[in-house]
Structure 1
Amino acid sequence: MPVGQPEFINNPEPRCPVILLLDNSGSMSGQPIQQLNQGLFAFKESVEQDALASLRVEVAIISFGPVKLVQDFVTIAQFVPERLEVEGVTPMGEAIEYALDLLEDRKETYKNNGILYYRPWIFLITDGAPTDSWQNAAQRVRNAEANRKICFFAVGVQGADISILSQISPSERPPLLLNGLDFKSMFVWLSQSVKQVSHSQAGTTQMVSLPPLGWGQVSS
Structure 2
Amino acid sequence: MSRRLPVYLLIDTSGSMKGEPIESVKVGIEAMLSTLRTNPYALDTVSISIITYDREVKQILPLTPIDQIQMPEITVPESGPTFTGAALEMLCKKVDSEVQKGTPEQKGDWMPILFVMTDGKPSDIQVYKGVLSQIKQRQFTNIVALAAGPKAKTEELLLLTDKVFQIDAMDSTAFMKFFKWVSGIIEEGGKSMGATEDIALPPPPDEVNVVI
CA contact under 8 A between 1:13 and 1:115: conserved in structure 2? no
User: Are 1:15 and 1:115, in contact at CA under 8 Å, matched by a contact in 2?
Assistant: no
Residue 113 of structure 2 corresponds to residue 156 of structure 1: no
Q: Do the aligned partners of 2:3 and 2:107 also contact (CA within 8 Å) in 1?
A: yes
Work out whether residues 37 and 83 of structure 1, in 8 Å CA contact, stay in contact via their aligned partners in 2: no
Measure, in 2, the Cα distance between the counterparts of 1:113 and 1:136.
35
**TM-score normalized by structure 1?**
0.83
Q: Contact 1:14–1:117 at 8 Å: present in 2 too?
A: yes
Q: How many residues are matched? A: 202
With over 3 angstroms needed to count, the CA separation of the structure-2 counterparts of 1:110 and 1:46, relative to structure 1, is farther
| Matched ranges for 1:33-182 at <5 A | 33-65=22-54, 66-87=56-77, 88-108=80-100, 114-132=106-124, 133-141=127-135, 143-144=136-137, 148-158=139-149, 159-169=151-161, 173-181=162-170, 182=174
Name the counterpart of 2:6: 17
Give unmatched runs, 5+ long, in structure 1: 1-11
Letter in 1 for 2:203: P
Q: Secondary structure at the match of 2:99?
A: helix
For the aligned residues, what is the CA RMSD?
A: 2.2
Q: Quote the offset at 1:114 in angstroms.
A: 3.4
* Structure 2 unmatched ranges of 5 or more: none
Which residue does 1:191 correspond to in 2? 183
Distance change (3 Å), C-alpha of 1:112 and 1:17: farther
Say if 1:96 and 1:107 are closer, same or farther in 2 by CA, change over 3 A: same
Please report how far the alpha carbon of residue 39 of structure 1 lies from its aligned counterpart in structure 2 after TM superposition. 0.7
| CA shift in 2, pair 1:101/1:166, >3 Å | same
Q: What amino acid is aligned across from residue 129 of structure 2 in structure 1?
A: Q
1:180: Cα distance to partner? 1.5
**Could you tell me the TM-score, scaled by structure 2's length?**
0.86
Indicate how the Cα distance of structure 1 residues 112 and 84 shifts in structure 2: closer, same or farther if over 3 A, else same. Answer: farther
Percent of matched pairs sharing the same residue: 24
Q: Quick check: 2:145–2:164 contact (8 Å CA) kept in 1? A: yes
Q: Measure how far apart 1:201 and its partner are.
A: 3.8
Rounded Cα–Cα distance in structure 2 between residues aligned with 1:113 and 1:179: 48
Distance in 1 between residues matched to 2:130 and 2:42, nearest whole Å: 33
Per-residue CA deviations over 1:21-66 (Å, capped at 9, x if unaligned) read 0000101012111100101100110100012211200000000011
Letter in 2 for 1:97: E
Change (3 A) 1:37 1:201: closer
Choose which of 200, 203, 209 in structure 1 pairs with 2:200: 209
